[in-house]
Amino acid sequence: MYRYVEFHLYWVLLNITIPPALAPEATPTITDVIEGGIMEIISINEENKGKERKVQVQVDKRITLAQLKEELVPLIGVPPTGFIVYGISGCGEYEIKYEMEELDETVIEILHSGLEKLIVRLGRALGRGEVRIELYLLQVNNTEFCNFMMESIVAKDTPVREFKKQIIEEAKVLGIDCVLELDK
């Protein structure tokens, strides 16, 4: 009887969108659940094959974001430092997406902040004093003069010249052809 009561008091249902599996071993089944664990997989929906997977999990609402990330590792196939958890609140065109940085925040605190769902993206999390920015390539003579180029992370006190060098290096890695002058 106590187990039944505890289940309803301390567990909460989360809808999480995760990237596609990187390896076959990164797709556990519902039968892989460990008795007495802090997360149970309810369903895995792979409608958008190759783009994303929607996972419905039941977790102990007392766990922290760091523990949740550890539990998601088998589903994603990368270590906790290799992905970012975003919270989505609102609906439709009024959705607000924000990066969840507080690893010691519990799931119940996250839910009280008005979260509707979670999205996991591959990439590194922000460090202290860093900001994630979106860069757009401005092409004056083109009909679509402002195109999304890439996303980058920059420290708050980085000089412009060093940031330009960083952009050039990241653009080369991504195969983006852009000309930036370091003198201006």
- Find the CATH number of the domain harbouring 97: 3.10.20.90
Q: Is residue 182 part of a domain?
A: no
Same domain, 99 and 116: yes
Same domain, 166 and 78: no
Spans in the chain with pLDDT lower than 50: 1-7, 25-26, 29-34
Same domain, 82 and 139: no
Which residue in 112, 39, 52 sits closest to 83, CA to CA?
A: 52
Same domain, 54 and 91: yes
* Rg value, the chain, Cα: 20
End-to-end CA distance of the chain: 71
Q: How far is CA 175 from CA 23, 41, 98, 169, in A?
A: 25, 38, 28, 10
Same domain, 27 and 117: yes
The confidence score (pLDDT) of residue 184 equals 59
Same domain, 135 and 116: no
Q: Is residue 184 part of a domain?
A: no
Which residue in 80, 87, 84, 96 sits closest to 121, CA to CA?
A: 84
Q: Is residue 179 part of a domain?
A: no
**Structural domains in the chain (count):** 2
Q: DSSP alpha helices (H): ranges in the chain? A: 2-10, 65-76, 107-112, 160-174
The confidence score (pLDDT) of residue 159 equals 92
Same domain, 20 and 90: yes
Same domain, 11 and 76: yes
Range of the domain at 47: 2-122
Residues 6 or more apart whose CB falls under 8 angstroms from that of 11 comprise 40, 58, 59, 60, 61
What DSSP letter does each residue of 59-87 carry, written as one string?
Answer: EETTSBHHHHHHHHHHHHSS-GGGEEEEE
How many helices (H) and strands (E) the chain has is answered by 4, 8
Collapsed DSSP state (helix, strand, coil) of residue 124: coil
Q: Is residue 183 part of a domain?
A: no
Are the CB atoms for 26 and 20 separated by under 8 Å? no
Same domain, 69 and 139: no
Same domain, 50 and 135: no
Same domain, 135 and 115: no
Same domain, 55 and 104: yes
Q: Is residue 48 part of a domain?
A: yes
The confidence score (pLDDT) of residue 25 equals 46
The confidence score (pLDDT) of residue 41 equals 79
pTM as predicted? 0.66
Cα 173 → chain centroid: 22
